[in-house]
Chain A
Amino acid sequence: MDWELTKARSITRRTFFGQAGLGLGTIALNSLLAEEGIAQQKLKQGNPLAPKKPHFKPRAKSVIYLHMSGAPPTLDMFDYKPKLTELNMKPCPDSMLKGERFAFIKGVPTMLGTPHKFKQFGKNGTWISETLPNIGSIVDDIAIVRSMHTDQFNHAPAEMFLYTGNAQPGYASMGSWLTYGLGSLNQDLPGFVVLLSGGTDPTGGKSLWNSGFLPSIYQGVQCRSAGEPILYLSDPNGMDRASRRRSLDALAKLNELEVKQLGDPETVTRIAQYELAYRMQMTVPQVMDIAKEPQHIQDLYGAKPGAATFANNCLLARRLVEQGVRYVQLYDWGWDIHGTGPGDDLVTAFPQKCRDVDKASAALILDLKQRGLLEDTLVVWGGEFGRTPMNEARGGSKYLGRDHHPHCFSIWMAGGGIKPGMIFGETDEFGNRIVKDAVSIRDLQATILHLMGLNPFQLSYTYQGLNNRLIGPVDAAATVQTALLS
């Protein structure tokens, strides 16, 4: 692996340069190479996105990570606390405030029982908020982890910690690690795709899909469900495909002359990249066009072609993994439920956010399942930290909401090697601290890598004298959560 990487970093870097047919240009190239005596092998070796052998047999081939940016209040969703409801609006006991740092809460806050009703779903009678009827209906297919915790309680650092293993920017993101470790199954599409909804980028910004110290080919490519699917994908106005083809043919011819004259293998790669770009111009819009889906599938998700919605992105995610994309990351903005006003409160804003994602999240699981894709696709749903069992009441706000809380929160996972229908971990009766089976961010990272067939302790990259890993430098800090695995 390291040797491959060294090559990837240093000899040349050839994205998407697969062995699949490369069109007319390639044939000419092959003969050129033979003529010049340049080993073709060198070129093939150089493709860092070619599928690579995992460390062991993987449980999943692709990941779809649904991130609720802003940190959803999971006490109002997946972790039912009748005791908290009993104490609603009663002063918070001293014991919970001792030594506690809050982002916004000042003085002695009151406890906040959920204003939403909970209902039992599935075979196990799992309590889930009525704001999530569709996710409730698939509860037997997913595993809910009620005992997540993190080190960070500001959004940007917490999101960076979750996705790059470090609260500061500059590190490689999970999708980059996976494409670095495994390559991609489709050379005509990016291996790591990012889809955004909610009208705002996630707090951590582009760092969340940056390749950090890994070569930039492992960087996430942001695709858009509205407008041009990838920036600059369309030919210029006034240019038709035939013109583009003719101009690329002329370009290839001139560049081939260059190879003959100077023999630079990188020129050969460049010729191939232009051919690939030409092919991507056709394949990407096709896969990104959700209007091609039958109406009943669009309805299942609540998708509406042309909008930048979470529902559309879920449907796109399915289409992308179907085509062999290794890692699809969704970010949905708007979950920072502080209760400072009607725009971020627990009574009106929060149920709206639930409506944005409930149906589509469930549809994704159902749709993957009915296509037989769920067993090869790991789906993760969650935020970057939890929210307090206390009402924030910032500046005396009358709206209900919760402050940042790193000590516990819930996420759920499904598919690719995850035991369906299970509840893992437990918090205390207030939802303030974990009492059983704590799962750290690093545990989650380790578990995801493990399911993809990578040893999280081995997957590393030496940079600046450090053996960097997604799970960080300390072995003891990460454990693959085998109890979650089927």
Chain B
Amino acid sequence: MDHPPYYRFLLGTFVLSGVVMFHTAFATPQKRIEKPSKRPPVSYTQEVRPILAEKCFSCHGADEKKRMANLRLDTRDGAIAHRAVVSGHPEKSTILARILRNDGLRMPPTHTGKKVTQDEVEIIKRWITQGAKYAPHWAFQRPQRVPLPKTANQRQIKNPIDNFVFAKLEQIGLTPNPTADKYTLVRRVSLDLTGLPPTPQEVQTFASDTSPNAYEKLVDRLLASPQYGEKWARMWMDIARYADSAGYGSDPLRPNLWPYRDWVINAFNNNMPFDRFTIEQLAGDLLPNPTQEQLAATTFHRNTMTNTEGGTDREEFRTAAVKDRAIVTMQAWMGVTVGCAQCHNHKYDPVTQKDFYRFLAFFNQTEDNDQPDERPTIPYLTSDLKRRKEALQVEVAELTSKNTPEAKAEIEKKNKEIEKIFIKLPVMKELPTDKQRKSHILILGNFLSKAEEVQAGTPTYFPALPADAPKNRLGVALWLTNRENPLTARVAVNRFWATLFGRGIVETEEDFGQQGSLPSHLELLDWLALEFMEGGWNVKNILKTLVTSATYRQSARTLPSHLEKDPRDRLLSRYPRRRLDAEGVRDQALLLSGMLSHKLGGPSVFPPQPDGLWRAAFNGERTWSTSVGEDRYRRGLYTFWRRTVPYPSMATFDAPSRETCTLRRIPTNTPLQALITLNDPVYLELAQALGRRIAKEGGNSLQERMRFALLLVQCKPATETQVQTLTELYNQELEHFRKNAPAAKTMATQPLGDLPAGMDVAEQAAWTVVANVLLNLDSVLTIG
């Protein structure tokens, strides 16, 4: 019998990251090859609905208030009832008659500026001829496995992903780019999997490894490195709206929340299956005898904001937090937006207002209620703290035998210390049964306007809560990760895809509903979702599948034919080149300059930022105590995240404030970003360090050093023109700084500090300028 995942979980038989049958995919039967019929069936979802949605639904759609002529075209019944559509008879269907008119009765009306094109008319005609079939929204149906599409490009193909991608490219007369060179590949996959570029040694190792599985070995090494967890935790932090402050007015600090962040890093590094990752974060506290780590996972939903402003109503902001939990859960796991249903039934997706408050009821039973002290909390112990505590307890035990006044005093002192050893970590804690709250529909979402009482339940349109699942948050987690759920796996793999390819197969990662964008490759998305579930929700395996595809390994070169036929690269005719994210820009500069601390986890840190930025209201904390030592050079993931004043250089590179859940960062390309990597003292310091590293490790001649520098930052050998261009710059700057000793001194040493013995001031000033350019190269700021 095929036990659903939650069943295994509850039985405690979870198999940790076992090797799953990745290769089963290749065994998919391919007996039935679809033959294109002469008149291919029109797809309502892919072809017809987009036309109707853009040109008809605003007046003939779901919104009763805006509906004209009492005609709706978004349902088959509606369209048929008014003979707008007469199945099988385009000539009798008034929809076409009206579209084709040339007078004032034309649809859509002229004043809308919209017109149905000839091609679109043909689609509608064919659709009506074929029976005018409507289809339920694709994303709300379970993923389907289809035979792998055929592709002529058998030589380049690496795994089934390529069948789907190549076949689509062939349909529009494109072929994928050839595989990128090894230098490009090692940098690309290192950045994508660990958020850091490879070292020159790593580049060399891969470039000279001629074994057939060299690339696979590289991928395995990267997935096994602790930096992998850091990189992918970053992605989850935006979703978890993790921050080190509570938000609102004075935005008080939450310096104790980081064990949750570390839990996420460890979950990725230990390759925790995604279903378990889900269950522990949503309901770790409801598992039998939860461990400290399972409780720490539930901090996920304690990342909601707390309003400590004077004169606030606790219930108002508790309600806001609970709504946020319901909304984020649906959105992060199922890509369904339910926020609007707090006031009214969803206009496009099958979520009613009642559904919303029934779902909210699951989250309405925790003890927390917008208290400034963030209770309830647990005394969380890291392994270091635990060791320290145990050591002290041993000492106390030894002292107890002595029974002298000195020993007693010492015991008291040590006991006091023991009491203080813990981190006060906010967690989810269910109210006792007799104190559980009643949940109501709230009129217009107002916490004071209670309407009908509701019982906890999942949105009725979707598959029901599994029969044996408890009616609480644990049940919700099991429902999300149940095989019947059409969305969770799709949303998850789409997010992995988006992280690796810049954009999701469904571009609106946050919205898989009817208003979201259609998948560029639906069958591929489904194939991946099924692989993911059948493979035991194994995250590393699915990532490996993605990065070992030929699609991923293509060169990024853009050709004129690409811009003509696939301008936005939705069909992946080339590797989607893109800028590093905010943390990536920082992390890479740290690594290249040799300054990066590899310390994993721990409290958030305070790298330098301009003075006086923290000026929160109501006596909020104003002191940014810049970290010293290695904490000054930690990865961006560890930068202290104050919601009302996010770290400015990362915010400029599109990092969100994390006041709310962010499912997709929209990348920008602005002059303010240029100012940061050119002028921010943080980046200048790293340019100085990089300059010194070049002088120290780059050999003796200027030529050698320049080649070393370019290889280091680009992870590929320099071209002659590159060397020449930078050598010219270096010589000009050297000449300039030779004449300006004070400026040279400043340029070479502020803020990094005195030069090591033997380094020349003017030379290092010139190298700083060169390094500043290197860290701003397009090829460095971009994953290509």
Tell me the A residues contacting B by CB distance below 8 Å.
Answer: 9-16, 36-39, 42, 69, 101-104, 153-157, 168-170, 196, 199-207, 210, 215-217, 221, 227-228, 230-240, 242-244, 246-247, 250-251, 253-255, 257-258, 261-267, 269-271, 273-274, 276-277, 280-281, 333, 403-404, 462-466, 473
Contacts and interface: CB of A to CB of B under 8 A. Distances in A.
29 contacts: A102-B311, A104-B311, A154-B307, A154-B311, A156-B249, A196-B615, A206-B646, A215-B668, A216-B654, A216-B668, A232-B680, A235-B678, A236-B684, A237-B746, A237-B750, A238-B750, A239-B747, A242-B736, A243-B769, A246-B769, A250-B726, A250-B773, A251-B777, A254-B726, A254-B777, A254-B778, A269-B669, A276-B671, A463-B510
B769 A155 contact: no
Contacts of B733: 243, 246-247
Contacts of B348: 465
A283 B164 CA distance: 51
Contacts of A216: 654, 666, 668, 670
A205 B251 contact: yes
B490 to A, nearest CB: 16
B500 interface: no
Kindly list the 7 A-B residue pairs having the minimum CB-CB distance in the complex, ordered from nearest.
Answer: A103-B311, A205-B644, A238-B746, A238-B747, A277-B671, A170-B660, A465-B515
A157 B214 CA distance: 56
Given A232-B679, A240-B743, A13 B667 contact: yes
Nearest to B645: A206
B313 interface: yes
Nearest to B578: A266
B756 interface: no
B523 to A, nearest CB: 23
A254 B722 contact: yes
B368 interface: no
B666 A13 contact: yes
Interface in B543-564: 556-560, 563
A273 B339 contact: no
B45 interface: no
A157 B309 CA distance: 10
A253 B747 contact: no
B159 interface: no
A167 to B, nearest CB: 8
Nearest to B724: A253
B294 interface: no
Given A281-B675, A465-B515, 17 more contacts: A13-B670, A16-B670, A37-B560, A156-B617, A201-B645, A203-B309, A205-B644, A205-B645, A232-B678, A232-B679, A236-B681, A238-B750, A250-B725, A251-B777, A254-B773, A261-B557, A277-B674
A169 to B, nearest CB: 4
Given A156-B309, A257-B719, A257-B721, A11 B568 contact: yes
A15 B670 contact: yes
Given A206-B644, A264-B556, A273 B673 contact: yes
Contacts of B681: 236
B331 to A, nearest CB: 7
B511 interface: yes
Contact of B616 (A12, A13, A200): A200
Interface string B722-742: 100110110011001000000
B313 A101 contact: yes
A263 B557 contact: yes
A169 B657 contact: yes
Interface residues of B, number: 101
B300 to A, nearest CB: 18
Given A251-B776, A262-B784, A231 B648 contact: yes
Contacts of B271: none
B667 A238 contact: no
B310 interface: yes
Given A236-B684, A247-B772, A262-B558, A270 B669 contact: yes
Given A262-B558, A465-B349, A234 B339 contact: no
B567 interface: yes
Nearest to B559: A263
B407 interface: no
Nearest to A281: B675
A24 to B, nearest CB: 15
Contacts of B645: 201, 205-206
B340 interface: yes
Interface string B302-335: 0001010111110000001000000000010000
Interface centre among A196, A234, A247 (most CB of B within 10 A): A247
A117 to B, nearest CB: 30
A13 B515 contact: no
B776 A155 contact: no
B354 interface: no
Interface string B577-621: 111000000000000000000000000000000101001111000
Contact of B675 (A13, A69, A169, A277): A277
B609 to A, nearest CB: 9
A156 B643 contact: no
A466 B340 CA distance: 7
B563 A38 contact: yes
B732 A465 contact: no
A281 B748 CA distance: 22
Contacts of A473: 340, 343-344
Interface in B656-705: 657, 659-660, 666-676, 678-681, 684
A393 B305 CA distance: 30
A42 B310 CA distance: 52
B671 A280 contact: yes
Contact of B558 (A101, A153, A264): A264
A128 B773 CA distance: 59
A280 to B, nearest CB: 6
B337 A466 contact: yes
B7 interface: no
A232 B676 contact: yes
B557 A200 contact: no
Nearest to A236: B684
